[in-house]
Each structure stands twice: as C-alpha cells, then as structure tokens.
Amino acid sequence: MKPQYRIRNWSEYNAGLKQRGSITFWIDETVLAQWIVPTLSGERGASVFYSDLAIATMATVKAVYGLAGRQCQGFLSSIFGLMGFEFPVPDHSTLSRRIGKLTIALPVLPATGARHVVVDSTGVKVYGEGEWKTRQHGISKRRTWRKLHLGVDEATGEILAAVVTSNTVHDGKVLGNLLDQIEDEIKQVTTDGAYDHRHCYDDITERRAKPVIPPRKDAVIWQHGNCKAPPHPRDQNLRSIRRLGRKKWRCMAGYHRCSIAETTMFRFKAIFGGNLNSRRLDNQTAELLVKCVVLNRMIQLAKPDSYSVDA
C-alpha cells in the first residue's frame, strides 16, 4: 500500500503558499528605494539608469508569473500605477541587454552544522521540435538544450550551488565548481553513478567530505590491500556493496537522500516549465540562476513538515 503522509505545520505552510503569489513579496519598499541609480557613473558611454536590483526584480517577476518581456513591462507599469508610484519600468530590450551581466547570488540560510550536499543535473530546452514531432519525424539539428547542475542541501532543500553548461559537458566536470561555491563545511556529497570518476572523488575528499557515489556494476578495486596508500573511498564503497548488497548499502550510506535533488528538479520544471526564453548563453545562465533564487525564497517562506501515517 502506498504510504500516506500528513503535515504538522499546515497553517504556516498554507499561509506561506499564498504568500508566494503576493506581488508585494517580490517587490518590497527596499527594491523601490533602489530602483533608479541616483548618480551618473562618470565613465565613458551612456550611464546606467536602472539599478541591477531593478533588472533582477523584473527578471524575477517575469519568471514567477510566466510573462513575456513586453507583458512583464506592462504588468509592472500597472502595478506601480495602482501603488501610486511614478516609476519608469525597463523595457524588454533593456532587460535582455543587461540580465546577462548581473551577478546573482543564491539566498541561503545560515548552516547549523556541516551540510550534506546532493548533486544532480537536468536538461532545459532552448529551442527545437516538441516531443510529438520528434517521435514522428526524428530529431533535427535544431533540437538542443542546456544543462542545469545543482548542489542541494539534503536537510533544507535549498539550492547551495548552480552551474549552467551546454548539453555536451559531462556532469562530473562541473562537480568541483559546484563544491567551490559552497563555503560551509560539507560532511557528505551524494551523487548518482554519472560521477563515478577519480577526479570527482578527489574534488570531494579535498573538502574532507564523505563521497557516496554508487560504483558501476562492473567496477573493480582501484587500490588493493597491499598498496601503501590509504584506502580509497570508492574501494570502501565497493567492498561494502559486495558484503552487504547494493540495496542495503544505499540505505546505510544515505544514498536514497539523492532524491532531494530530483525533487528540486521536479519543483523547478513544475513552476517554470522546461524551456528557456533567452537565446544567448549568458542570458540563459542568468535566467536559470534567477529561477534558482526564486526557488530558494519559496522554500524558505513555506516548507511542509510531513510525517508518515500508518495505514
């Protein structure tokens, strides 16, 4: 029988879910106070009129409410009119020109201890035919996508690190970059078998963390017992799998918590869809990072505290 769950903090969770749709949550007084750059830069060329915060806020509203560029511009203009503020709104071309130059930091709550990081990636479509046409006529050269690599906190579900690459980049190549973005202490890094490479283990052990990566089914020992080097973490995992079985090892090592990353991918695509609106890689990167910021703010605002109910 499928397990059933109940939520302990239903009233707080319900209030937080409604707050996620509030326009005042995404545009507050601090944003309006810094909407326009007060002084000229003094550098050659045209000075920036709208602040980076204004551009980031417009990109956030565009992502949250699923608006096109011109629709977002009209939406913000009408909101400012209802609020009684006579603020100009960046046009869609200004947003497109400046979003790729933003420095976007992920909002993360302070850690209460060492973090358990789960890592995974997903594909986000840039352009190309839909699934029906692909099934009927095959994949054309126009069909392509970007890969979003995420490092997620196993305990809180927050996105701690994010990297955007083309679809030709292997997952393991960006693991070091993801871990470098996390300043807090890391106790464990859990990934799937795509990261079963020596350099991935090196990246994790450099952070003095425990790597939990399922070895391939045809895996062999890298460093045997007569080797003078200390036991390799992969060999320890492989020996445990041979002794306990793969299923029991996954439970004991906490590998099942890797589903937190898959849940984050599901939340991302359920809220924002699986397509990108931008065409340049820098704009696509900024667009995806803005959406990651939105996900973190949403989960910090409302997260269910669920427990299993016996049938």
How far is the C-alpha of 147 from the C-alpha of 171, rounded, in Å? 9
Q: pLDDT digit string (tens) for 108-150?
A: 999 889 999 999 999 998 865 555 555 555 655 556 789 999 9
Predicted confidence at residue 217, as pLDDT, reads 83
Q: Is the pLDDT of residue 303 over 90?
A: no
Instruction: Give the pLDDT confidence score for residue 41 in this predicted structure.
Output: 58
Ordered structural domains, the chain, with CATH: 4-103 (no CATH), 115-262 (3.30.420)
Average pLDDT over residues 210-218: 88
Residue 310 has pLDDT above 90, yes or no: no
In three-state secondary structure terms, 179 is helix
9 HSE (CA, 13 A, CB side): 11
* Residue 188 confidence (pLDDT): 94
Mean pLDDT of 18-45: 82
- Under the banding of pLDDT at 50, 70 and 90, the label for residue 288 is very high
Is the confidence at residue 249, as pLDDT, over 60? yes
In the prediction, which pLDDT does 235 show?
85
Tell me which H or E stretch contains 73.
Answer: helix 69-83
Going by C-alpha positions, the residue among 231, 295, 306, 301 that lies closest to residue 264 is 295
CA distance 193 to 208: 20
Strands 144-153 and 306-309: unpaired
Bridge partners of 151, per DSSP, are: 119, 161
Return the minimum-mean-pLDDT range out of 194-208, 232-246, 274-288.
232-246
Residue 154, pLDDT score: 93
Burial of 153 by CB count in 10 Å (0-12 exposed, 13-18 middle, 19+ buried)?
buried
What's the confidence (pLDDT) of residue 30?
Answer: 85
Note the maximum CA span of the chain. Answer: 77
Under the banding of pLDDT at 50, 70 and 90, the label for residue 45 is low
Lowest-confidence pick of 8-17, 45-54, 119-128:
45-54
DSSP structure class, residue 90 = -
